[in-house]
Amino acid sequence: MRTEIFADQPEMDSRAAGFIIRRAARAVERRGRFALALAGGRTPLGVYGLLQDLPWERSHFFWGDERCGPKEHARSNYRAALAALNPPADLPRANLHRIQAELGPRRGAEFYTRRLREFFGPDGAPVFDLILLGLGADGHTASLFPGDAALTSQALVLGVEPPEWVTPRLPRVSLGLAVLNAARSVLFLVSGAAKAGAVRSILEAAPQAAEAPGALVRPAGELVWFLDAAAAGQLSRRPGASPCESCHSNSHDEGD
């Protein structure tokens, strides 16, 4: 696992865009396509606007989770991400793998499971080249919430009823941990002081972190956390202080 801390969100966004584009180029070179799962929420939207250099025609966009409601409703992760990505007009619709959350959590999960199987094959967990994830102040990621039965499920995609403290209070469809942890690369993007407690708890392995869904994301491949200084504000070890294996800032991406 690697953690990089940036002065502010614009710097984090710029470095995250470079990270994504390099992994896209690597995936296309090795496998002829790039399978990316986009994070929901607001944090990643700035990054999505910096991805003009993606190999668009070889890139396949999935979503890590979606809020249930009318198709492309105001709080839709699909709608927000697509507006921010602003893909080329000639991007084939077949490259956009929208979660049909308007079907409701259960049927939406069934349909997305079928979509994953069609794209990745009938057996085993789908292996994304890169999954982008955000983090809630309660330690949730995608739509996997603390204490939810989804955390012990092997399902590829789940229908989820969020706890009462989550906004928007909409049923969700979410990739399950089985898919998150099968990825070649997972990048968390976390910004803002509101997340600092969850970040410290997860990255510095506090006992209560065991329940935090963000702590359960331990992919077979690469796990990288990008934080701005505010989100890193409660970490006890800071870059340039006592170096440690999990929270250092360096100026290059490993393996690039």
Question: Which residues are near ligand 6PG by CB under 6 A?
Answer: 39-43, 64-65, 67, 77, 134-136, 140-143
Closest approach, Cβ 89 to ligand 6PG, in A, equals: 27
The residue to which tokens 């200084």 are assigned: 229
- Return the number of the residue (56 or 172) whose C-beta is nearest ligand 6PG: 172
Nearer to ligand 6PG, 40 or 126 (CB): 40
Q: Which is nearer to ligand 6PG, 67 or 97 (CB)?
A: 67
Token pair in block for residue 140: 């949730």
* Coil vs helix vs strand at 238: coil
N-to-C CA span, the chain: 15
The torsion angles phi and psi of 71, rounded to 5 degrees, stand at -50, 130
For 150, the token pair is: 């989804």
Shortest CB 115 distance to ligand 6PG, Å? 18
Residues found in the chain: 256
Min CB(226)–ligand 6PG separation in Å: 12
CB of 43 to ligand 6PG, least distance (A): 3
Nearer to ligand 6PG, 43 or 113 (CB): 43
Smallest separation (angstroms) from ligand 6PG to the CB of 252: 26
Measured from the CB atom, is 126 or 136 closer to ligand 6PG?
A: 136
Residue closest to ligand 6PG, measured at CB: 134
Q: Minimum distance between the CB of residue 128 and ligand 6PG, rounded to whole angstroms? A: 15
- Provide the Cα torsion 3, 157, 206, 186; round to 10°: -10
Burial class (CB in 10 A: 0-12, 13-18, 19+), 95: middle
Q: Which two tokens stand for residue 208?
A: 């209560």
CB nearer to ligand 6PG: pick between 56 and 190: 190
Residue type, 6: F
Q: Which alpha helices (DSSP H) does 65-188 contain, by range?
A: 77-85, 105-120, 177-180
The HSE-up count of residue 223 (CA atoms within 13 Å, CB side) is 16
